[in-house]
Chains A and B, each alone.
Chain A
């Protein structure tokens, strides 16, 4: 199974007002305070998004997803790692979220 298929299978959805079709996907850790802040930011702004807590999935899927992200975004992966139609943001950065998601 490809990394993209694994992501589609494991992702969890959070409903929002869907005012922007940004296809937001966040890679998070369940223990990470910054990841919680990121989710709260999206919730507070009523954004529809999907997420995967990478620490909660099996090691093989974990490594496939991280390798895929490293390769696709040519970047080191830190959490939260937010991707959307217009780009990606590494780490919790509300200013960049506002800019990218036009909030």
Chain B
């Protein structure tokens, strides 16, 4: 799958949603911007890192952020949406809201490791 194109990434996120029994954000503008962010990260880093979080650029340190991130299943279960609001639970829109602020679930230790890595780069 050509994930460095909008079409390819669109196909990918649709497949992820279908496989996990989730839906995608219904707002076209929001969805397109999220897909655009994923495409840019794929081009810049070589993997589709979460567009709403700061990636280190080192795959080992960003592995948990590769979309769908490791935290998406728990976030969707608890809040009805992933951190970015790209993937939503089937009944998310029954609540009568368009989006939700999902708190960061990523352990702070992982962010600290990224900081150490960034500092080490000259």
Q: Show the binding face of A for B, using Cβ within 8 Å.
A: 29-34, 36, 54-55, 59-60, 62-63, 66-67, 76, 78-79, 91-93
Q: Show the binding face of B for A, using Cβ within 8 Å.
A: 30, 33-34, 36-38, 40-41, 51-55, 57, 84-85, 101, 104, 108, 111, 115, 117-119, 121-122
Number of A-B contacts (CB under 8 A): 60
A55 engages B54 (CB within 8 Å): yes
Q: In the complex, what residues of B have CB within 8 A of residue A62's CB?
A: 54, 118
Q: In the complex, what residues of B have CB within 8 A of residue A91's CB?
A: 101
Minimum distance in angstroms from A46 CB to a CB of chain B: 21
A33 engages B54 (CB within 8 Å): no
Minimum distance in angstroms from A102 CB to a CB of chain B: 22
